Chain A
C-alpha cells in the first residue's frame, strides 16, 4: 500500500473565458521512504499539483479526483487535514519564506508548540536544537537567537527544512527547493534531503525543472507538460531510453556536464514554446510542437504501460529508433 495514492486528479481555476485547467487526469503514487521527482517547465502545473495534494489552493480552485489515499486512510474533501498534518512543504526562496522579524529560535518554537501544545519549554528547546543538528548545523545553541538576515541563503534553506521537519512529516514536498541556491550549496541540500529521507523513512517529492537535480537523488520521476503527466518511469530509464518525445527533448536540450560528446554541435530543440494555460491544444498537449505527431494526436492518448514504464503517447520512441536519432 503506497503512502500516498491519487488517481485522475483534475484542478481548474475560473478564468475570463471559461475554466483554465492547471492539472488534468494525473495520477501519482508515492511509497513510504521513497524519493520521487516531478519535472516540468514553468506553467506545466507541477506546483499546483503539489499544492492540491496539501489542500493549499485558494477556495476558487476546483479540485476533483477519483481516488485519494494517504497513510492508509481514504481522503475526501472533508478530511484533507490528514494530509496537511502528515506532510510539509519547502519553497524556492528561503529568504522570503522565513519571518524576517523573528529569531529562528522563536520560529522553531512556534511550529513545535503547535504540534506539542502541552509540552514544557525545555522540551521544545531540546527538540529545536536536535532539529537544527539534524539538518547539519553545528553548535545550534548559538544560532537560536539570530535572525534570518544574518545567515547565508544555504543556511536559511537548512532552517526551512528544520521547520518543515518540526511536525515529523511522512511526506516532504520540496518545490524547487534548490533552484535559487549556488551550485555548491545545492548539492549539499540535495544530500541532506536524501540523508533525512533515509534516516526518518520519510517520503520526499522533489519538484524541479532541472533534470540534473533528479539524476542522483530520485528513483522514479514523472514528466509533466501542460497539466498532464506524460511519462513516469525510473529516472535512469527516462535519461537513457525515454518513450515520449517530450522527455527526449528535455534530456537532450540541455547539455549535461561530462555527457558532452561533441561540443559546439547543435542541440536537440523542440520548435515553439510552452502554450499558455488557457490555450492548451486539443488532444495530445505536445501535438503542435512534436516532430513525430500524426493524425491520431488530435485525440488525447491513454496512459499505457510497459513493465514499470508509463507513458501517454500515440507514437512512442522505440529503443532502436532512439539510438539512431541520437
Chain B
C-alpha cells in the first residue's frame, strides 16, 4: 500500500485549569498547531522536554482526548470525532505502549487474559483461534507459550514490557504509539526491547510513533523526528536532516546538551541557554523566547509560522539565518 497511513494538520488542544471560585479559569494550550505525516512501516519520533505536550499528542492520536482544532487523516480519510464508526476505524488499528509496564498490566490477570481482551473486540479472529494466536504472538515477542498462565509479578521488567508489546500486537495494529517505552527498564534490557521493536517493524510492517528523550535511541530507530517545545512544533523533518543540520535554536541546544563526543561545533549553544528561574508561562509569541539566545523583539509578540528550511520545517522567525 502506498501513501501515508496517518496525517495530521494543525492539531490543537487546550485545557482549562481552575484558579478558584471567582477567578477566570486559566487556559493552558497543551499542543498548538501540530502537523506531521506518518508513512507505512515508518517511525516518527517525538522529542521534547517535560511539559512540551508530547503525551497530549499521543492521547489525541489514540482518541483518549479530542482535539479542539485540526484534522486527523487515516489512510487519506478524515477521522470525524462526531461519528463513532469513523473513529473506530482508526482506533482498531492503533495501539499504545506505556512507560511503566508494571503498572499498565492487571496484576491479577494471567497473561492470556490480558492478551485475549483486545481479541474480543476484533471480529477478524474467530474464538477457536484465540489460543493459537496468543501462542504465536508470545513467541514473536520472545516469551514461551506456557508462560501465558503466569501473573505479571512473575516476570522481570523487560519481560513485562514484552507482554505490553504483545498486547498491542495481538489485534494486528498498523500504528503503535510508544510513550517512553524504555525509560523504566534497565540499560541492558533496553537494547533487547529496541531490537524487538525493529524486528516487528520489519516483519509486520507496523508504524511507530515513538516518544522519547534519549536522542541516541531516536537517531537509531526513526525515519522522521518532531521536536516540540511548549506545545508547539519547533522543527520537523527527516532524522538525518534535522540531526545533522538543525535549523531551530532549540534543536541545536537539545543536540548540544547530549554529553558526548566530538560535538564541538554545537558546544557554543550549550552556554547560550539562559537559566530560567520561573517555569514557562503562557504568553503571545514564540514559546522558546525566554531561553532563546537569538530572540528579538518580534519573537516576544508574534508566534512564528512553520517555514520550510532546507528539507525540514522550522518554526522560527530567524530560521535560515542562524
A: residues with CB less than 8 A from B are: 41-42, 136-138, 143, 150-152, 154-155, 158, 182-184, 186-188, 190-191, 209-210, 212-217, 246, 249-250, 252-260, 263-264, 266-271, 273-274
> Provided the pairs A182-B50, A183-B257, A267-B195 are in contact, do residues A255 and B270 lie with their beta carbons within 8 angstroms?
no
- Name the contact of B276 in the complex, choosing from A155, A254, A273 (C-beta under 8 A): A155
B221-257 toward A: CB 8 Å interface, digit per residue (1/0)? 1000000000000000001000100000000011111
User: In the complex the two chains form, is B191's CB within 8 Å of A269's CB?
Assistant: yes
CB-based contact B191/A268 at 8 Å:
yes
| Nearest A residue to B256, CB-CB | A187
A187 touches B50 (CB 8 A): no
User: What's the nearest-Cβ distance from chain B to residue A288, in Å?
Assistant: 13
Interchain CB contact (< 8 A) of B220 among A41, A217, A255, A270: A255
Partner of B277, one of A42, A137, A273: A137
| A259 / chain B contacts, CB cutoff of 8 Å | 216, 260-261
**CA–CA, A228 and B65, complex, Å:** 48
State whether A183 touches B187 (Cβ < 8 A).
Answer: no
- Across-interface contacts of A249 in B (CB, < 8 A): 188, 191
Q: How far is the CB of B182 from chain A (nearest CB, A)?
A: 9
Answer whether A273 and B190 are a contact pair too, CB < 8 Å, given A187-B270, A212-B216: no
Given A151-B278, A184-B254, A270-B188, verify A264-B260 contact (CB < 8 Å). no
**C-alpha spacing A150/B261, complex, angstroms:** 35
Q: Is A255 a contact partner of B259 (Cβ separation < 8 A)?
A: no
- Beta-carbon nearest neighbor of A187 in chain B: B257
Among B188, B216, B270, the residue within 8 A (CB) of A256 is B216
Contact partners of B254 in chain A: CB under 8 A: 183-184
* Contact stretch, chosen from B66-74, B155-163, B297-305, B311-319: B155-163
Q: Are B278 and A184 in contact (CB under 8 A)?
A: no
Chain A residue contacts of B261, Cβ below 8 A: 215, 256, 258-259
- Which residue on chain B has the smallest CB distance to residue A39? B187
Q: Kindly provide the distance from the CB of B211 to the nearest chain A CB, expressed in whole angstroms.
A: 14
B260-300 interface bits toward A, Cβ cutoff 8 Å, 1 = contact, 0 = none: 11110000001001011111000000000000000000000
Would you list 13 pairs from A and B whose C-beta atoms are within 8 A, ordered by A residue? A152-B278, A183-B215, A183-B258, A209-B187, A212-B216, A212-B259, A253-B191, A254-B191, A257-B243, A258-B263, A259-B261, A260-B216, A266-B195
Main secondary structure of the interface of B (DSSP, over half): helix
| Max chain B C-beta neighbours (<10 A), residue from A138, A260, A271 | A260
Tell me if B192 counts as interface (CB < 8 A to partner A): yes
Those of B147-161 within 8 Å (CB) of chain A: 156-159
C-alpha gap A87/B239 in the complex (Å): 44
B186:A274 contact, CB within 8 angstroms: yes
Instruction: Say if the beta carbon of B49 comes within 8 Å of chain A.
Output: yes
| B residues in contact with A253, CB < 8 Å | 187-188, 190-191
Q: Does B27 contact A (CB under 8 A)?
A: no
Q: Please tell me which one of the listed residues B49, B255, B259, B279 contacts residue A216 in the complex, with CB atoms under 8 A apart.
A: B259
Decide if A212 touches B260 in the complex (CB within 8 Å). Answer: yes
Q: In the bound complex, how far is the Cα of B216 from the Cα of A213, in angstroms? A: 13
Q: In the complex, A160→B260 CA distance in Å? A: 25
User: Which residues between 30 and 82 of chain B lie within 8 Å of chain A, taking CB atoms?
Assistant: 49-50
Shortest beta-carbon distance, B310 to chain A, in Å? 20
- State in angstroms the CA–CA spacing of A190 and B256 once bound together: 13
Nearest neighbor of B157 in chain A, beta-carbon distance: A273
Complex CA distance for A187 and B131, rounded to whole angstroms: 50
Further pairs besides A155-B277, A187-B258: 8, Cβ < 8 Å: A182-B49, A182-B213, A183-B215, A249-B188, A249-B191, A257-B215, A263-B239, A269-B189
